[in-house]
Structure 1
């Protein structure tokens, strides 16, 4: 059985792991990005670690959270999850554009492991996630800034990650600045992981695959 995902967000990655835990299949991801998880940054605030089964994630190296961590670099987290998926019969079509979806066949052009062509799939999944209209402003710095009403997390490399509903002041030496659209950065990672597992269960149950 072949399954295609049309997105490489955290929800889709976790859903794929859930499916693979219960079903022998081949999974393909399609993305126009040149490298998964290494471009763009989203909220990485966490309450605890680990977040996932050890078989669902490879090493995050220097970004591995420790006992004092309250944040993880989300792009590295996604990269580590995708590496573990590649070891579980998953294929990533990078720098690949889908030109046509005809019933259960995807036509594509680009790089990736198979270049251009078309592949038949038993299931084609497009995991649309409804996003809140709330816009949050994020930044990383070497110390906690004196700003009111911010959410703060500390990564394993001591970098401070903060998020605010207000625009960030310009008189701070930011390492990186970000924007994110969603309900609450504080629980976004947990919510996406849980959503991925839930959708994996729903897919398996709807097709009577669950062991």
Structure 2
């Protein structure tokens, strides 16, 4: 039998966004420390290198992780560890799980970032794990995660919870990134949408306090 008092293994969780990459060293449910760096979205290799650098930086501060979990704002083939499509970071078609595992030398687990967030919220909910949960994540874009009976809901093609690209207003603004739709939830209430609307208001009211920011 193992030593019941031995510490839980150290793992690293990485949240990859269109604006920043945040990596955290985690033991059990405790985040020991984090590092943050801007996301270089010039090409896929730049994104992978940014993730690799963040993981290596935080590993040097503590100890090598036993595994790395990565959440990306993209549509994922979970079984294959491959990105199917991606609006805000240029990694469509990339086998992120295998590529990053080879770079880092440890097991890598890959999923949509909102799925990761939804599962974490369901597992760590006050009062104990909850079986059913719907989550929206707001950042550069809008993500969605759904947990049913304690498991992430993926749908028939793995895209069952892409709530940010539900069309709310078919005549609304164009969706940011490479989404071809108009009036998606992401086009209306994401960080990019806020910046767009604030810029338009500032241009319309050049003497306003907003324009002076």
TM-score for both structures, normalised by structure 1: 0.26
